[in-house]
Structure 1
Amino acid sequence: MAFDELNAKITSEEEARSFIKYAGAAYCNKRSLLNWNCDNCNGYTTGSSETVYFSKQKTSAAGYLTVNKNKKLIVLSYRGTKDIVNWLYNLDFSFVSADLDWPYNNAGIHSGFDATTKSLLSNSTDAIQNALGKYPTFKVVFTGHSLGGALAALTAFRLAQNGVIPWEKINLITYGQPRLGTPEFADFLNAQAWTSTRVTSYGDLIAISYGRSLGYAHNQHNMHINKYGQTIQCSTYKEDKNCIGYIGDFSREAHFTYWDQRIKTKC
């Protein structure tokens, strides 16, 4: 798939490295997040406060918003797959309409991801509106790992479409995120004036799911860590075989390791 229009920007490698702990922190329990006292609540994340935690039992989805006044940041982070309920939604890979106008009116989104995103959308909306009401000039970053990356991306999409936050203010940084929807949906996301970065590691099966043979496509941009640990800036014209062409060489560790950091899911 070639991308028709590209207005989306990519973040720096330094910033992509910085938000790994914020993505990983979403796996931690409510109490440790509210007190910002968890295995991932250190390093770049130090000083985060005013944390709001949200979850939904039906979809087993969870996420949080936190504010880092020192860095002038508002961060929304969503948890990746934790249990069988998450997997049931993950495996619901039929398409639902993205409800977009022409020429993207045929755009479709992964049904399970969409349902999970919508289950937290009112919480996400309230949290970001309250935070921006207090700190309107702060940078807003959406992040997450695996399923959490999909939820971060789709939450940002829904909030922008609902007029809660302008596209220009959205910074999306995800890790090991699967594909979200159809090529038309990817084209729509590429056309928006936001900052969108998917960090992927060589050998990660999830990052190249769901397959293009099923009608799925990734949007831009892909920052890829190759088998030698080198960071590759992938093609901005189409999905780059140098960044996704490792079928048959999968590794579980690749889904959790980014540069010299490992995302801890038991937190």
Structure 2
Amino acid sequence: MLNVTWHIDFPLSDGFVALHHQDREIVVSWAGTHRYRALLMDMAFFTLPYIEGESMNVHSGFLESVRGMIGPVKQHLEVLMDEFPDYMVVVTGHSKGGAEAALCALDLVRQISGLRQRLRVWTFGQPRVGDAAFAHYYNRILGGITFRVTGVADPVVALWIMNNDGDIYVAQNTTECEDPAGSQSVPFFLRTIQSHKDYLGLPPPDHADAEFSW
């Protein structure tokens, strides 16, 4: 049951908060790249400090999208958490939405007392969000309750920002946080966009009919 939806142009952001009574969950979902302008945001390969004054950086487009909506999301979530105190909170998203979900979950845990005990984070085809310092910080706080689902031939999950000049590189069998028998086992040139779109055997909805389509 939808509680609230948002469709923001500046900074670009789409998503919803919903109740899943059968599973006793409050769901915060961030939409993936459904609008053409979102492609530009995905390719904004510049970083910003996640916390001002700290030397850990994240993708600027993802961070600005989350920070532009985190206040209203927090307000709606707090109301629902009070109304349904035995419901878990699930923050989720695919692709760009997965990156935003991770940042959103971290922001919310830092702002809402007691949320972590009720929280789970599920992302699908999520690109890397931040640098090594940010990854260690995230893992310390939410690593045990975050599930990042990646396809073995998905090219998006292997990309990351190299520096603030906009250079990027492909991480191939070099990261400690990813299974070398999983997404790191397929050479980058063999990966396909279709593998990024199809997760769990389910293709994305027809965007002509989807809710988040403009």
Report the TM-score, using the length of structure 1 for normalisation.
Answer: 0.67
Establish whether residue 264 from structure 1 lines up as the match of residue 213 from structure 2: no
Q: How does 1:151-230 map to 2 (within 5 A)?
A: 151-163=100-112, 166-193=115-142, 194-210=144-160
Residue 253 of structure 1 is aligned with which of 194, 197, 207? Answer: 194
1:202/1:212 CA distance change after superposition, 3 Å: farther
Establish whether residue 143 from structure 1 lines up as the match of residue 92 from structure 2: yes
- Which ranges in structure 1 are unaligned for 5 or more consecutive residues? 1-48, 219-235
1:258/1:88 CA distance change after superposition, 3 Å: closer
Match of 1:54 in 2: 6
- Which ranges in structure 2 are unaligned for 5 or more consecutive residues? none
Residue 67 of structure 1 is aligned with which of 10, 15, 19? Answer: 19
Establish whether residue 96 from structure 1 lines up as the match of residue 37 from structure 2: no
1:138/1:216 CA distance change after superposition, 3 Å: farther
Match of 1:131 in 2: 80
Establish whether residue 109 from structure 1 lines up as the match of residue 58 from structure 2: yes
Match of 2:184 in 1: 244
Per the TM alignment, residue 85 of structure 1 is displaced from its structure 2 partner at its CA by 2.1
In 1, distance between residues paired with 2:161 and 2:185?
12
In 1, distance between residues paired with 2:122 and 2:199?
13
Higher relative contact order structure (alpha carbons within 8 Å, sequence separation ≥ 6) = 1
1:108/1:215 CA distance change after superposition, 3 Å: farther
Per the TM alignment, residue 127 of structure 1 is displaced from its structure 2 partner at its CA by 1.6
Measured on the aligned residues, the alpha-carbon RMSD in Å equals 2.5
In 1, distance between residues paired with 2:169 and 2:73?
26
Match of 2:32 in 1: 80
1:119/1:240 CA distance change after superposition, 3 Å: same
1:163/1:259 CA distance change after superposition, 3 Å: closer
State whether residues 100 and 107 of structure 1, in contact with CA within 8 Å, keep that contact through their aligned partners in structure 2.
no
SS at match of 1:210: strand
State whether residues 63 and 103 of structure 2, in contact with CA within 8 Å, keep that contact through their aligned partners in structure 1.
yes
Per the TM alignment, residue 237 of structure 1 is displaced from its structure 2 partner at its CA by 4.9
CA deviations on 1:100-152 (whole Å, 9 max, x unpaired) are 78xxx311111111001111112211221111010121011011110010111
1:265/1:143 CA distance change after superposition, 3 Å: farther
1:258/1:82 CA distance change after superposition, 3 Å: closer
CA deviations on 1:203-233 (whole Å, 9 max, x unpaired) are 1111112256868999xxxxxxxxxxxxxxx
In 2, distance between residues paired with 1:245 and 1:212?
21
In 2, distance between residues paired with 1:50 and 1:89?
26
